[in-house]
Amino acid sequence: SAIGLGLLTATLRPNTCSSSYSPGSPGGSHFEYIITDKKGKNHNVGLIQLNRPKALNALCDGLITELNQALEAFEKDPAVGAIVLTGGEKAFAAGADIKEMQNQRFQDCYSTGFLSHWDHITRVKKPVIAAVNGYALGGGCELAMMCDIIYAGEKAQFAQPEILLGTIPGAGGTQRLTRAVGKSLAMEMVLTGDRISAQEAKEAGLVSKIFPVEKLVDEAIRCAEKIASNSKIISAMAKESVNAAFEMTLTEGNKLEKKLFYSTFATDDRKEGMTAFVEKRKANFKDQ
Ligand code: HXC
């Protein structure tokens, strides 16, 4: 498989993030830090595998740049209805690249907007599922939390260990984790750096399902295929509406939901979905 091949070739590379990185094509073969593929029936699922195993997928600048390019390519691909983001068996991602950050000064961070391109994934309209095996630490946990759904492998571990490095989460960890698991556990994780297991993450509401390590990616693809079989435009509206729950008051959010609900009546797919039900047949959505 593309994933297996990628892991083999990756072992030949150094684990430092090269500054002479050259952008790859969305076909996948030219990326340096990720592997992309299309899976599912009609190739309707975009798969992105973080592939910098020697550094446990530490999220260096080049990796995030490639990730954003791959996300954009899948976002524009009319065949793709959902995206799966995964890493390796040992690590989804062990965080921001500490070696890249080590000598940064405040002035550098502030004036260059350090790490400001990390949240591109939150602006992708197509649903994104994070399939987390192994470590999801610091920026790795934050990246997973920027996705729409998190599935975890049985051995996954989540943490925000920035405090142990003398810093704090900087890509939404204090905000998204708190919203996902509540104040006490979020505060405990952010202040101690302690890891939680897949099981604890599920109990706390951070992940929706747990699978055996080797089944995780297939299960995430299966969920993505299910999503991709629905109307893309309606899925985007549903995603927008759920995400509004994190940004708005209940009254404002319900108002937005109602507007989006009414908007579905401007689409052919809404008419097709209800007509198919009445005619006792499967809906044939055209993303219109
Ligand atoms: C750079 C990293 C790295 C990281 C691991 N490596 N994590 N390099 N940045 N975040 C490198 C190691 O230096 C090492 O390279 C190789 O990957 C293998 O790691 P080991 O430590 O030897 O593996 P192991 O003993 O199995 O320990 C695994 C680990 C540990 C527990 C995950 O690597 C670890 O604690 N990593 C750091 C986790 C962390 O603090 N993450 C938060 C980062 S801060 P060499 O060259 O020695 O072989 C952050 C801030 C985000 O994310 C802020 C906003 C975006």
In the annotation, is 100 catalytic? no
With the most atoms of ligand 1 within 8 angstroms of its CB, the residue from 50, 63, 98 to mutate is 98
pLDDT in tens, 153-173: 999 999 999 999 999 999 999
Whose C-alpha lies nearest to ligand 1, atom 13? 55
Give the residue whose CA is nearest to atom 17 of ligand 1: 55
Is the pTM higher than 0.75? The answer reads yes
CA distances from 150 to 47, 140, 252 (A): 14, 12, 26
Q: What's the confidence (pLDDT) of residue 21? A: 37
Which range, of 9-18, 115-124, 182-191, 236-245, averages the lowest pLDDT?
9-18
Active site residue 142: yes
178 CA to centre of ligand 1 in angstroms: 24
pLDDT tens track for 75-105: 999 999 999 999 999 999 999 999 999 999 9
pLDDT in tens, 257-277: 999 999 999 999 999 999 999
Active site residue 139: yes
Torsion of CA 127, 216, 171, 74, to 10 degrees: -40
Residue 100 Cβ contacting ligand 1 at under 6 Å: no
Q: Is there a catalytic annotation at residue 162?
A: yes
Q: What is the CA radius of gyration of the chain?
A: 19
What per-residue confidence (pLDDT) applies to 30? 84
Question: How far is ligand 1, taken at its centre, from the CA of residue 156, in Å?
Answer: 15
Q: Whose CA is nearest to atom 7 of ligand 1?
A: 94
- Residue 97 CB–ligand 1 contact under 6 Å: yes
Identify the active-site residue in 55, 70, 96, 156: 96
Q: What's the mean pLDDT in 24-52?
A: 86
